[in-house]
Amino acid sequence: MTRDAIKDLILEIIEDIDEDADFDTLQANQPLRDQLDLDSMDFLDIVMELRKRHKLQIPEEDYPELASLDSCVNYLEPLLKNA
């Protein structure tokens, strides 16, 4: 999966969590939670959707790697290279 495809995947998952999520002003290097009004409960949905869709097991200690859109892409790129 390319970096752009991973980015789209994350945005698609977030849109699925909150259909009113506003991506227009989203800054890729800033925490998703603050910008999109997500709480830790919503955040778990990203982890669980990645598991469901791509069989990715993300250990709890790695959750901080998913903080921003950029860090998501960096973290997921090697894991999804064959996806």
Partner 1 sequence: MHVPLIIIGGGLSGLAAGLRFARFLPDVLILEKHSRLGGLNSYYYRNNRLFETGLHAITNFAEPKDKKAPLNRLLRQLKIKRKELDLHEQNRSEIHFLNQESLLFSNDFTLFCNEISEKFPNSFAGFNELLNIIDEYDPFAPRDFISARTIILEKLHDQLLTDMLLCPLMYYGSSIENDMDFGQFVIMFRAIFQEGMFRPGGTIKDLLDLLTNHYQTHGGKLRTKAGVKRIIKDGKKAVAVELEDGEQIQCDFLLSTIGSDETFNLLDTPSPIKDMPRLGFVETIFELSPETKLNKNGNNTIIFFNNGTTFNYAKPTDRVDFNSGVICMPQNFQNLDVRPYKEVRTTHLANYDEWKSLSHDKALYTAAKDETAAASLPVAEKILGNFGKNIVYRDTFTPLTIERFTTKKHGAIYGNPIKIKNGDIGYTNLFLAGTDQGFLGIVGSMLSGVSIVNQHILPRI
Binding site for partner 1 (CB under 8 A): 17-18, 37, 39, 41-42, 44-45, 47-49, 51-52, 60
- To partner 1, the closest distance from the beta carbon of 4 in angstroms equals 26
For partner 1, the closer of residues 4 and 60 by Cβ is 60
In sign, the C-alpha dihedral spanning 34, 38, 43, 48 is: negative
For partner 1, the closer of residues 3 and 52 by Cβ is 52
Tokens of 28: 């890729």
> At which residue do the structure tokens 């390319």 appear?
2
Longest distance between any two alpha carbons in the chain, whole Å: 32
- To partner 1, the closest distance from the beta carbon of 70 in angstroms equals 23
For partner 1, the closer of residues 3 and 51 by Cβ is 51
- To partner 1, the closest distance from the beta carbon of 39 in angstroms equals 7
Q: Is 72 exposed, middle or buried (0-12, 13-18, 19+ CB in 10 A)?
A: buried
